Structure 1
């Protein structure tokens, strides 16, 4: 598929809306991750004074948009809800990424970025950044002695599937568990369910999203972790997004993450979730809504968040019901090749 046909397909997806399958037409259009893309960290090299005399930090996210186009976000820190110094478009020219926007300029090449810009309420200053790869502090975390190992690369004995026509969940030679879409244009899904049902629990899992440069919004590497069939913690390629209620770490369409702590596609990320179901009295009257705490890549993005309604598409807006105080945990097949590993759960 040529770049022009990719863009045409993406445009048709937006324009036709419900006339097309909800699964992205380009879900399997996975690209290699460019060297420029990802996190950059460094400092202002000649701070002029005032605030910047003691705060030299400068960081950048480089997000691929396809066709050698990139969005660059300059910020003071990652994993904070801070106003960017600059969000601008850059274009790759051979092995160099070049940005020119107003008084800002930057070149990214061979893991080094050099440039100059004007921070908020500041003067023109030079900076130097280097490409980095952040690692979640819970990556590779071993399961506690009382945990149930759901997936360790050796098999899927703890899991069952729904449809026989949806994705095929395959264990790769390296032990990664990957959902392979059977047909990106079909509505058929094949979610992976735990055979055992759980009430209050704590789960750890690691995931990696592919790079889909021509896909946008909910069509960009979408999946999720569901509790009791009804409450979804979103998985998505949200790298560089603001962190809305349908981004990674969100309680889908209920609560946005406190910050967007996502890593770039192609890098392993972690979700650590503690879930407590709704409570009912003996008469079946609801006395407490479910609550959830979520850490994305070691950063708390939900804290004791009350889940006010069910999040599943067919049930949105409905309050919990007594029969939904226990149920399986499941991984969503949304037509994208998401990788998983090191999944374990504790009953609380």
Structure 2
């Protein structure tokens, strides 16, 4: 394990290798140089210059940056205004011009030059055995948008709109050899799942449709396997969706569906786009949820039931922009992205870049999030030069603030390297140990074996042994690239 000092050294090597660079016309970024005190003593200091938009700047003069111990407060805070090709800071003589930050201040004479810190793990190649989520030779892979689940069947449109009833959806899964598979489905309201005539799952509760809410393991035999969903209706909306993948959430090799819209290829996420549908079925005096145990014709006499073909050719939507270099950019209001792959213990590598939004403030300034297992959020935000709170970049909402604020200026690529231990559960589903996380932001340790006693706000569901990676849409065009997960052996 690398020590804190070694990681800091690696980061500084990245800085030295880059050499001295300018910050461009906006002047925002890190500076390093000397402060000559009134008594003539000289020491090394740093400055973090923040652009607040409309020509307003702030410079925090600090004894150190990107390392521990974190200074309790800056040595000096300067407020400045853009004046042509320079930034003049208040009543002092300090100014940024022509690539330098110089001048007299209340604590002495500044002489600073810009430098650019870069994470030592940028571009880190996925090791053997890693699951590529964004990047690799094939570009964007392994993601879906649950807001636009493929193959949703609106039963109020396909059948007569009704209440306190049930309908059946049927298709066949065809595989060449026996295998284990995973059914991910959601429904409005409840659902009962049958495989080859046997009930394998039931959730008879009123609820809205949430894509992939249910997780059902299937044991498939070689050849044809009849999958049937019984969708219960209390009232209002009435719909369902389903997809079949392998146990890690990836495409199931060799899977075919008996019913598939003509000319439409199999959906990459395994979404079922066609069904035989039968219904609606009712029984006097019984609510929709009570019909879960009532065997109607599709259960008792499938051949004698009346079926109609219903197709939804709309696959799962991609609500992001794919750039030429394989980077993806979140589309505002496009919805969060979720990996097809689900993971437990292992190591996650994420590269991200927040947009330049100088006039935005707080949570509206380059906001996104990396949700481990879709449940524990590591915040993504432009919080360059700020205090480093649990709701700022690198923070884990309500559970832990970063040991040091490692957020770089907006527009610069950054990294999270995460060692994750999933929560543990006994045979009855009771949690016996909390999840645990160690996080390095741009190569520097910011969380050290932090226990996560609960899911954070915005979680996709209850805690579990496995779950997907989720990249949060919070309305800002944050970019991601080179994202992979290496499971622990």
Distance 2:100 2:134 in 1: 38
2:145 paired with 1:155? no
Instruction: Find the aligned partners of 2:483 and 2:430 in 1 and give their Cα distance.
Output: 34
1:97 aligns with 2:119: no
Deviations 1:239-264 (A, max 9, x none): 11100110111112221111111100
Q: How does 1:18-37 map to 2 (within 5 A)?
A: 34-37=25-28
Paired residue for 1:69, among 56, 60, 84? 56
Render the CA deviation track for 1:207-228: whole Å, top value 9, x for unaligned: 1111112211111110011122
Shift of 1:265: 0.3
Tell me the alpha carbon deviations over residues 100-137 of structure 1, each in whole angstroms, 9 at most, x when there is no partner.
Answer: 35xx5411012111112344xxxxx3221011111111
8 Å Cα contact 2:145/2:319 also seen in 1: no
Q: Give, in whole Å, the separation in 1 of the partners of 2:456 and 2:406.
A: 22
Residues 232-251 of structure 1: pairs in structure 2 closer than 5 A:
232-251=377-396
Structure with the higher strand share, 1 or 2: 2
**In 1: Cα distance, 2:29 partner to 2:321 partner:** 28
Within a 5 Å distance, the mapping from 1:116-155 to structure 2 comes to 116-119=104-107, 125-152=108-135, 154-155=138-139
CA deviation after TM superposition for structure 1 residue 33, in Å = 7.5
- Is 1:164 equivalent to 2:155 in the alignment? no
In structure 2, how many angstroms separate the alpha carbons of the residues matched to 1:220 and 1:314?
A: 21
Counterpart for residue 211 of structure 1: 356
Contact 1:236 1:247 in 2 (8 A): yes
Which string of whole-angstrom CA distances, capped at 9 and with x for unpartnered residues, describes residues 10-44 of structure 1?
xxxxxxxxxxxxxxxxxxxxxx9743111111112
Distance 1:234 1:167, change over 3 A: farther
What CA distance in whole angstroms lies between the structure 2 residues aligned with 1:35 and 1:312? 35
1:286 Cα offset (Å)? 2.2
Mapping 1:1-348, distance limit 5 Å: 34-45=25-36, 48=39, 56-80=43-67, 81-82=70-71, 83-100=73-90, 104-119=92-107, 125-152=108-135, 154-164=138-148, 168-181=319-332, 188-313=333-458, 321=463, 324-348=464-488
Report the RMSD for the aligned CA atoms in angstroms.
Answer: 2.3
- Structure 1 residue 167: Cα displacement: 7.9
Which whole-Å deviations, capped at 9, do the CAs of 1:73-118 have from their partners, x for residues lacking one?
11011124202011221001000100135xx541101211111234
Q: What corresponds to 1:28 in structure 2? A: none
- Counterpart CA distance in 2 for 1:93 and 1:172 is 36
TM-score, normalization by structure 1: 0.79
Partners in 2 of 1:89 and 1:117 — Cα distance?
A: 12
Cα separation, partners in 2 of 1:163 and 1:282, compared to 1, 3 Å: closer
Do the aligned partners of residues 195 and 232 (structure 1) sit closer, same or farther apart at CA in structure 2, a change above 3 Å counting?
Answer: same
Q: 1:326 to 1:114 in 2, by over 3 A?
A: same
Mapped partners of 2:24, 2:440: distance in 1: 26
Paired with 1:155 and 1:140, the residues of 2 have a C-alpha distance of 14
Residue 277 of structure 1: how far off its partner (Å): 1.2
Deviations 1:43-63 (A, max 9, x none): 1256846xx55xx21111111
CA separation in 2, counterparts of 1:71 and 1:254? 29
In 2, the alpha carbon distance for the partners of 1:205 and 1:309 equals 23
d(CA) in 1 for partners of 2:425, 2:146: 29
For 1:163, what is the secondary structure of its paired residue?
A: helix
Is the contact between residue 167 and residue 179 of structure 1 (CA under 8 Å) also seen in structure 2?
A: no
Count of residue correspondences: 295
Distance in 1, Cα, partners of 2:431 & 2:343: 19
Instruction: Tell me the TM-score normalized by structure 2.
Output: 0.57
The residue number in structure 1 matching 2:231 is none
Select the structure with the greater relative contact order (CA < 8 A; seq sep ≥ 6): 1
Give the distance between the partners of 2:25 and 2:447, measured in 1 at CA: 31
Higher CA-based Rg: 2
- Provide, for residues 181-230 of structure 1, a one-character-per-residue CA deviation record: whole Å limited to 9, x for no partner: 2xxxxxx5511111111011211111111111221111111001112221
SS of corresponding position for 1:116: strand
